[in-house]
C-alpha cells in the first residue's frame, strides 16, 4: 500500500511524542547520532520545525517566517510547563491532573526560589491555601486559585 507524506506525518509525530515522553529526566543532555546535538537539542529541532510548518502551508516564505522560532522552543523551565499545562487543561475544560513527579520537582523549585520567582513578575502573587495536596500547593504558590 502506498501512502502520501501527509498521511504518514500524524503517526510519525505520535511515535516521536511517545519517545519524548519516555525520556528519563537525566537523559536530556545525552548525545545523539547527530553528534552536535543532545537529546534536548534534537527534540527542540523537531518542535521548532513543526512550529513554522503552518506558516509555510499558509503561503508564507521562509523569509517571512524569519527567526521567530530560533532558539529554545522546548523550554528549559519545567515549572512553567507544569503550570501552563494545568492552565491549558482548566481553560479547555480538560481533566486538571498533573504528573506527580513534575509537581514534586516544580514545588521544590518554587519553594526554594520563591523570592526570586516573585521578583520576576512571571506568576501572580501566591494564593493562600490550607490544602496538603502538592499540586494545589504548587498552583497556589504560583498565584493560581484552584
In a domain, 72, yes or no: no
**Tens digits of residue pLDDT in 88-105:** 788 888 888 898 988 998
Domain assignment of residue 110, given as a range = 78-141
Site of grid cell 523549585 = 109
Q: How confident is the model at residue 79 (pLDDT cuts 50, 70, 90)?
A: confident
Average pLDDT over every residue of 99-115: 86
Q: Is residue 146 part of a domain?
A: no
pLDDT of 130:
96
Answer yes or no: is 104 within a domain. yes
Per-residue cell: 146: 484552584
Q: Is residue 73 part of a domain?
A: no
Helix, strand, coil in percent for the chain, rounding step 5: 60, 0, 40
Domain match, 55 and 84 both: no
For the segment 35-57, what is each residue's pLDDT rounded down to a tens digit? 898 888 888 888 888 888 888 88
11 lies in some domain: yes
Instruction: Give dist(CA 94, CA 86) in Å, integer.
Output: 9
Residues 15 and 54 in one domain: yes
Residues 47 and 85 in one domain: no
Q: Give me 26's grid cell.
A: 537525566
Residue 70 lies inside a defined structural domain of this protein: no
Cell of 17: 511524542
pLDDT on residue 75:
65
Counting the structural domains of the chain, the total is 2
Tell whether the model's pLDDT for residue 62 goes beyond 80. Answer: yes
Amino acid at each position: 500500500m502506498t501512502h502520501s507524506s501527509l498521511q504518514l506525518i500524524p503517526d510519525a509525530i505520535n511515535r516521536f511524542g511517545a519517545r519524548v515522553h519516555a525520556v528519563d529526566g537525566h537523559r536530556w543532555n545525552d548525545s545523539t547520532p547527530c553528534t552536535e546535538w543532545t537529546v534536548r537539542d534534537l527534540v527542540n529541532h523537531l518542535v521548532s520545525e513543526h512550529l513554522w510548518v503552518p506558516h509555510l502551508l499558509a503561503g508564507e516564505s521562509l523569509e517571512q517566517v524569519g527567526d521567530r522560532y530560533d532558539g529554545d522552543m522546548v523550554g528549559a523551565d519545567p515549572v512553567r510547563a507544569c503550570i501552563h499545562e494545568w492552565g491549558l487543561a482548566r481553560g479547555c475544560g480538560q481533566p486538571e491532573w498533573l504528573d506527580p513527579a513534575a509537581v514534586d520537582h516544580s514545588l521544590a523549585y518554587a519553594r526554594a526560589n520563591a523570592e526570586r520567582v516573585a521578583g520576576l513578575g512571571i506568576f501572580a502573587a501566591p494564593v493562600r491555601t490550607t490544602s496538603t495536596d502538592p499540586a494545589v500547593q504548587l498552583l497556589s504558590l504560583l498565584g493560581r486559585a484552584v
